[in-house]
Amino acid sequence: MALPIYRPAFVFFVAAVAAGGGFLFGYDTAVVNGANTYLKAHFGLGSAQEGIAAASAILGCIPGAMFAGVLSERWGRRKMLLACAALFAVSGLCSAIPTDFSQFLVARLANGVAIGASSMICPIYIAEISPGNWRGRLGSLFQLGIVTGIFLTLFINRVIQGRGDEAWNAAVGWRWMLGLESAPGLLFLAFLFTVPESPRWLARKGQRDQARTVLTRLTGPDQADRDLAAIGEAGGRDHGGFAALWAKPYLRPVAIAMALMAFTQFSGINAVMYYSTKIFREAGAGANAAFTASVWVGLTNLVFTFVAMALVDRAGRKPLLLLGAAMQSLALGAVGTMFHMEQSGLPLLLAVIAFIAAFALAMGPIGWLFCSEVFPSEVRSHAMSVAALTVWTANYLVTQTFPILNDSPSIGPAKTFWLYAGASAGALWFVHACLPETKGLTLEEIGAHWTKRPLAGKP
């Protein structure tokens, strides 16, 4: 049987299918944005319960991310993604049919398990099938999937919201918003049957012939042999699971990845993505205008992710992160100042859009990309689980506390956004002082650098 002759197209196809997990991640992020106001009305929720409704899926993400590393190392990346896709489809339907708040929370927790697991596995899978000189662009497909899901879902929310009045949306509209997640979940499941297992996972499990077959389809026979030799030199031993992560030579990359992922969340990105409709309403916009502004936020997120994909393998990870963190600090400071001065309308929208553009340019795609490529192969699954666990724990804290901080008479939206601006300023310092550059290196070269010699660009 002849192998495909245009391998770049096959590599892109496989990476794009894996990025479907990012699309479902993005769908979930945005669907709560549209539904949370109506959930609050339907179930009679207070501010703390509103935060729980938005953060319930995130609570499921924490164990999903934590255990996905162990399970994907044992059973393979592809099999675990198939399980995630099935869970997306089932939990999406169950989220649309609850009769009380507790049933809703259970369905959302199940949905979160799928999100957490796929957020850990998809970036690793893409990194492990990608040639080194394409890894930045292909790795950014996961973030592109996220922002595409966010944008399309904000648009879908807007269409559903416009089908009826406030009472209809509180009774029925939010159910359609949540239930439609089953459709992309089933599509993701179908496409996963067309992609191979990670060749690096196969090689680590001693299935070198199968690994060579997959690598040949991805990069050609000559490069496949070179990659297999490099994988063999990198070693395939299990170095003690999670306990090994806290010993040299793994502690430093794990600590850097955890800090970077925490900063991505403490910048307040998901306060905006989950609550932008609420934010714009409180700034004086009506329901229709608030939904429309949220769609502009999603479109900006999408456009600037394409910009990041075009630049990440040229400019490098670190320069883009420095630029993005600086832009975030200024934009979030401006948002807080406008709330303090009780300004709204176009200036507020532009400041929020500037923050979204900065995040999509750098911290959004590069956070996941950096974590998928920075760890040595023998601890990659476990280390990525820890990085993903950090994301979802920080995400939960931000999502749960935003309504409380925002609604507090002594804090309010102005000080809340100034707090996020301070976190972005901290991220700027951290990237400058601590983050190495990984552009242009293979996964095996990056892993070897931690154990043998300083990584290029190490401060």
pLDDT value at residue 234 = 56
pLDDT value at residue 3 = 42
pLDDT digit string, tens, across residues 308-348 = 989 998 888 999 999 999 999 999 999 999 888 877 777 88
pLDDT value at residue 87 = 95
pLDDT digit string, tens, across residues 70-80 = 899 889 999 99
Highest mean pLDDT among 239-243, 269-273, 328-332: 328-332
- CA distances 7 to 16, 24, 159, 238, 267, Å, are 14, 27, 39, 32, 39
CA atoms within 13 A on the CB side of 6: 3
What's the count of helices (H) and strands (E) in the chain, helices before strands?
21, 0
Q: 441 CB contacts (<8 Å, ≥6 apart)?
A: 132, 449, 456
Global pTM value: 0.80
pLDDT digit string, tens, across residues 389-415 = 999 899 888 877 888 888 888 898 889
User: Assign residue 240 a region: left if phi > 0, alpha if psi is -120 to 50, beta otherwise?
Assistant: left
Asked if residue 287 is part of any domain, the answer here is yes
Dist. CA 457–CA 425, nearest whole Å: 21
Dist. CA 284–CA 290, nearest whole Å: 9
Q: Taking each helix axis as running N to C, give the angle between helix 7-18 and helix 101-129, from 0 to 180 degrees, rounded to the nearest 10.
A: 160
Mean pLDDT of 51-71: 84
Dist. CA 311–CA 270, nearest whole Å: 24
Write out the DSSP string of 319-350: HHHHHHHHHHHHHHHHHHHHHHTT--SHHHHH
State percent of the chain over pLDDT 90: 40
Q: 361 CB contacts (<8 Å, ≥6 apart)?
A: 304, 307, 308, 311, 320, 323, 324, 327
Name the band, by pLDDT with cuts 50, 70 and 90, for residue 91: very high
Dist. CA 61–CA 94, nearest whole Å: 17
Name the band, by pLDDT with cuts 50, 70 and 90, for residue 4: very low
Dist. CA 450–CA 417, nearest whole Å: 37
pLDDT value at residue 282 = 61
Residue 140 has pLDDT above 70, yes or no: yes
Mean pLDDT of 81-99: 94
Asked if residue 207 is part of any domain, the answer here is no
- Contact at 8 Å (CB) between 157 and 34? yes
- Contact at 8 Å (CB) between 131 and 219? yes
- Contact at 8 Å (CB) between 114 and 64? yes
Asked if residue 225 is part of any domain, the answer here is no
Asked if residue 202 is part of any domain, the answer here is no
Residue 69 has pLDDT above 70, yes or no: yes
Mean pLDDT of the chain: 85
Q: Which domain holds residue 411?
A: 7-195+237-452
Name the band, by pLDDT with cuts 50, 70 and 90, for residue 287: low
Dist. CA 2–CA 220, nearest whole Å: 12
Asked if residue 432 is part of any domain, the answer here is yes
Q: 421 CB contacts (<8 Å, ≥6 apart)?
A: 328, 329, 330, 332, 333, 336
Domain of 397: which CATH number? 1.20.1250.20
- CA distances 389 to 42, 60, 190, 251, 404, Å, are 31, 11, 28, 16, 23
**How buried is residue 410: exposed, middle or buried, by Cβ count under 10 Å (0-12/13-18/19+)?**
exposed
**How buried is residue 417: exposed, middle or buried, by Cβ count under 10 Å (0-12/13-18/19+)?**
buried
pLDDT digit string, tens, across residues 407-443 = 888 898 889 999 999 999 999 999 999 998 888 887 8
Dist. CA 33–CA 431, nearest whole Å: 30
Tokens at 415, concatenated: 């000080």
Exposure string for 217-251, b = 16+ CB within 10 A, e = fewer: bbbeeeebeebbebbeebeeeeeeeeebbeeeebe
**How buried is residue 12: exposed, middle or buried, by Cβ count under 10 Å (0-12/13-18/19+)?**
middle
Asked if residue 316 is part of any domain, the answer here is yes
Number of domains in the chain: 1
Asked if residue 364 is part of any domain, the answer here is yes
Asked if residue 167 is part of any domain, the answer here is yes
Name the band, by pLDDT with cuts 50, 70 and 90, for residue 277: low
pLDDT value at residue 220 = 83
